[in-house]
Amino acid sequence: MRLGTAARLWDNLQPAVDKYCKLLGMLDRKKRVLEREMELCYIPFSIEDGLRGSLENPPATMLVLPNGWVKVAAALPYTCADLRRKTLAEAWQA
């Protein structure tokens, strides 16, 4: 995703279309082989696609940062709770 340093250096990092298509093909082949051992998460490619997908199927995860803040998406700058002030159940509801 185009975040932080990757966003600033995207012109140098963005793969050519043919190389990107080859990469996706390789990941699809590996995913079928490794499905039982690990989850390969490589799509969606953009934050916008990820957010759209989360609206349709919200992730059932919470990211707890070392300072106690709780986020539902690592890529977004927003928090939904602070475990120093809320219980885990309250954070989940938030």
Beta bridge partners of 81: 70
Q: Is the pLDDT of residue 93 over 70?
A: yes
Q: Is the pLDDT of residue 7 over 90?
A: no
Q: Which amino acid is at 33?
A: V
Give the residue, 47 or 6, on which the prediction is more confident.
6
If you compute the radius of gyration of the chain from its CA atoms, what whole number of angstroms results? 17
Of 5, 78, 19, 7, residue with least CA distance to 46: 7
Going by the DSSP 8-state scheme, the letter that residue 65 receives in this structure is -
- How much is the average pLDDT of 75-79? 83
* Whole-number percent of the chain with pLDDT over 90: 21
pTM value?
0.42
How far is residue 46's CA from residue 61's CA, in Å, rounded to a whole number?
A: 20
Q: pLDDT tens-digit profile of 24-55?
A: 888 888 777 777 776 777 665 677 877 787 77
